[in-house]
Amino acid sequence: MSVKTSEDKYIQRDRMRYIKNSACSNLCYLGLLADVFYFVLLYRQDVHTYYYTIQIGASVVYNLIFMLAVFLASEGVKNYKKNYSIVLLVAGVMQIVRIFVMPLKALRAPTTVNGIDTTVMSGKTFTLCLVYLGVSAAALLFSAALNFIRCSALEAHLKELEQTKA
Amino acid sequence: MAELSLQHIDKIYDNKVQAVFDFNLDVKDGELIVLVGPSGCGKSTTLRMVAGLEDISNGRLLLDGRDITQTPAKDRDMAMVFQSYALYGHMTIYENMAFSLTLRKENPNVIHKKVLAAAEILGLTSQLNKKPAQLSGGQRQRVAMGRSIVRNPKVFLFDEPLSNLDAKLRGATRREILLLHKRLQATMLYVTHDQTEALTLADRIVCMSMGHVQQVGTPLELYDSPNNVFVASFIGLPPMNFYDVKVAGDALQGNGFKAALTAEEKKILAAYQGKEISLGVRPENFIEGDDIKVTVTNNENLGMNTLVYGSLGDTGVKVTAKLKGWKNYKVGDTAGFSIVRKHFFDKETTNAIRGDK
């Protein structure tokens, strides 16, 4: 691996003035995609009427809000908007919280299918939900952190350029 | 940069139509050559053959002594600027300029340096974050040039780059290209049908017609000593006047006028005594005088000059004169002109008569 000189670092910072923050925005899309896999998996579960409660309604509404917010944030971080890191941070934390709401409760809820005692959600499905929500959360949190670091670096660089000009 | 040599190049299409005939040209390092001629004369075809976008039917193309006749376009190390800019609308100016280098997987930091340097040269630094649609035609053409500059090619090829611009912008961009050439000292081939562009930009001009090279020379050579009637009529605005005249002793006699010959002109026309020739007179070579009488049909004041259109007496032979200053001839007036500089052409071959051949 080549050693980065101070000039290389300077150019890397300077490039941010013209290059979109596509790494962060792509991480947002990854978070969205994992979320889509999660709720498709969750909503296709059809064990009696366990899921048909007010909770599933709230979950659908949250999903809509989540997707809208993350999509907006993906456009924001693409243009180095620091505040969208907060939106992504909240969305990422909420994805972790969601693991403990529906999937975990469904995993622990007992039911009977064709006279056999079982749980509403199988262990395998729960693991998949865990992976999807985990990936989504990780992508969003990483995107939030990376965007914050890059925006701060760009701010400092622009300030430095202004001072040089003056 | 580079030296380019086009040797006996022909272009024959599959349907046997020949677009270029025996094209020969040596372009020196850092030279700006302008290929000029009317539409369909083969100038763009020649440029496309140099770029590698068209196959060369016969002949050889050498770059720095290396035969690149069969080399694919991407390996020729030439950059082409098109009339239509060919920019990607969804990319920013920075991304457009960096695109070719990104495709080559060059180091992003190196790309950044090159793009900023090219933008600085072209005055585009403040536009780098914009999309092409947000720029004027002239700025878009500069972006297209910038995209060529970042590649640092051996030869720049321009295919009528100013044709899409309005007259004012064309003038400004033309000056920018000239400055760019001076700054980069690059070898450039420039195609245009606009003689003003050719005269103002070129180190040398190649004037073409019907696929044939008519004359290669400096702008002054083409203007002052055209090889034939075609070059004489194509270069110069308004175009040269032509009259059928007979060489009769010390004078030229034509339909509607008689003009005296100087001793030098007599020497040039020695072999044509008693024969008919074509006399060419540039509009700016007329001054007010007594050699010919013209019935004025129009008087256009351009500020510093006046264009006087008319016919020789009542013969109907057209005359266009560009006189210095502000003149006020009325339609139907009779104006007297003298000729300060004459060009002679053989009537049969249409070649210039220079007296030394």
- List of residues 6+ apart from A42 with CB closer than 8 A: A51, A59, A102, A103, A129
Tell me, yes or no, whether B136 lies in a domain.
yes
Which of B95, B113, B128 is nearest residue A11 as measured by Cβ atoms?
B113
Q: Cβ of A15 and B92 within 8 Å?
A: no
Q: Is A21 helix (H, G, I), strand (E, B) or coil?
A: coil
Same domain? For B225 and B249 the reply is no
Q: Cβ of B94 and A14 within 8 Å?
A: no
Q: Which amino acid is at B328?
A: N
Count CB atoms within 10 A of the CB of residue A18: 18
> Can you give the pLDDT at residue B356?
61
> Can you give the pLDDT at residue A115?
80
- Angstrom distance (rounded) from CA A141 to CA A87: 10
Closest residue in chain A to residue B112, using alpha carbons only? A15
Looking at the complex, report in whole angstroms how far the Cα of residue A9 sits from the nearest Cα belonging to chain B.
9
**Which residues of chain A does B112 touch, with a Cβ-Cβ cutoff of 8 Å?**
11, 14-15, 18
> Can you give the pLDDT at residue B147?
93
Residue labelled with tokens 């180190």: B203
Touching check for B108 and chain A: CB below 8 Å?
yes
Q: What is the pLDDT of residues B181-237, one digit of tens each?
A: 998 899 999 999 999 999 999 999 999 999 999 999 999 999 999 999 999 999 998
Torsion angle (degrees, nearest 10) of CA A28, A31, A32, A38: 180
* Tokens matching residue B179: 């400055």
**Which residues of chain A does B129 touch, with a Cβ-Cβ cutoff of 8 Å?**
17-18
Looking at the complex, report in whole angstroms how far the Cα of residue B144 sits from the nearest Cα belonging to chain A.
18
**Which residues of chain B does A15 touch, with a Cβ-Cβ cutoff of 8 Å?**
108-109, 112
Same domain? For B275 and B221 the reply is no
Q: Cβ of B112 and A15 within 8 Å?
A: yes
Query: What is the extent of the structural domain holding B334?
Result: 241-346
**Which residues of chain B does A14 touch, with a Cβ-Cβ cutoff of 8 Å?**
112
Looking at the complex, report in whole angstroms how far the Cα of residue B180 sits from the nearest Cα belonging to chain A.
24
Distances (CA, A) of B79 to B36, B52, B117: 20, 11, 17
Touching check for B92 and chain A: CB below 8 Å?
yes
Looking at the complex, report in whole angstroms how far the Cα of residue B119 sits from the nearest Cα belonging to chain A.
12
Q: Is the pLDDT of residue B128 over 90?
A: yes
**Which residues of chain A does B109 touch, with a Cβ-Cβ cutoff of 8 Å?**
8, 11-12, 15
Tell me, yes or no, whether B198 lies in a domain.
yes
Mean pLDDT of the residues in chain B: 92
Q: Cβ of B109 and A8 within 8 Å?
A: yes
Chains A, B: CB contacts within 8 A come to 20
- List of residues 6+ apart from B331 with CB closer than 8 A: B296, B297, B298, B299
Same domain? For B303 and B257 the reply is yes
Same domain? For B142 and B260 the reply is no
Number of domains in chain B: 2
Where a domain ends, among B215, B234, B253?
A: B234
Same domain? For B28 and B124 the reply is yes
Which of A12, A17, A18 is nearest residue B109 as measured by Cβ atoms?
A12
Where a domain ends, among B193, B211, B234?
A: B234
Closest residue in chain A to residue B127, using alpha carbons only? A18
Same domain? For B167 and B307 the reply is no
CATH code for position B74: 3.40.50.300
- Angstrom distance (rounded) from CA B255 to CA B246: 9
Confidence of residue A2 (pLDDT cuts 50, 70, 90): low
Which of B112, B115, B124, B143 to mutate to test binding with chain A, by most A CBs within 10 Å of its CB? Answer: B112
Torsions phi, psi for B350 (to 5 deg): 65, 10
Same domain? For B168 and B188 the reply is yes
Q: What is the pLDDT of residues B294-317, one digit of tens each?
A: 999 999 999 999 999 999 877 788
Alpha helices in chain B (DSSP H): 43-51, 93-103, 108-122, 137-150, 167-184, 195-201, 219-224, 229-234, 263-268
Same domain? For B63 and B109 the reply is yes
Tell me, yes or no, whether B351 lies in a domain.
no
- Angstrom distance (rounded) from CA A11 to CA A19: 12
Same domain? For B162 and B262 the reply is no
What ipTM was predicted for this assembly?
0.75
Touching check for B102 and chain A: CB below 8 Å?
no
Tell me, yes or no, whether B354 lies in a domain.
no
Residues 116-175 of B with CB under 8 A from A: 128-129
Where a domain ends, among B200, B234, B268?
A: B234
Q: Cβ of B94 and A12 within 8 Å?
A: no
Tell me, yes or no, whether B258 lies in a domain.
yes
Strands across the sheet containing B276-281:
B257-260, B251-254, B241-248, B276-281, B343-346
Which of B90, B109, B127 to mutate to test binding with chain A, by most A CBs within 10 Å of its CB? Answer: B109
Confidence of residue B27 (pLDDT cuts 50, 70, 90): very high
Looking at the complex, report in whole angstroms how far the Cα of residue B141 sits from the nearest Cα belonging to chain A.
20
Q: What is the pLDDT of residues B32-91, one digit of tens each?
A: 999 999 999 999 999 999 999 999 999 999 999 999 999 999 899 999 998 888 899 999
Q: Which long-range contacts (CB under 8 A, 24 or more apart) does A121-129 make?
A: A121/A45, A121/A47, A125/A41, A125/A45, A128/A41, A129/A38, A129/A41, A129/A42, A129/A99, A129/A103
Same domain? For B72 and B187 the reply is yes
Tell me, yes or no, whether B355 lies in a domain.
no
Tell me, yes or no, whether B139 lies in a domain.
yes
**Which residues of chain B does A11 touch, with a Cβ-Cβ cutoff of 8 Å?**
109, 112-113
Residue labelled with tokens 């020949």: B18
> Can you give the pLDDT at residue A51?
67
Q: Cβ of A17 and B92 within 8 Å?
A: no
Domain range list for chain A: 22-165
Closest residue in chain B to residue A9, using alpha carbons only? B109
Q: Which amino acid is at B189?
A: L
Tell me, yes or no, whether B148 lies in a domain.
yes
Mean pLDDT across B254-266: 86
Mean pLDDT across A143-148: 97
Same domain? For B216 and B281 the reply is no
Confidence of residue A1 (pLDDT cuts 50, 70, 90): low
Same domain? For B246 and B97 the reply is no
Which of A8, A15, A18 is nearest residue B129 as measured by Cβ atoms?
A18
> Can you give the pLDDT at residue B85?
86
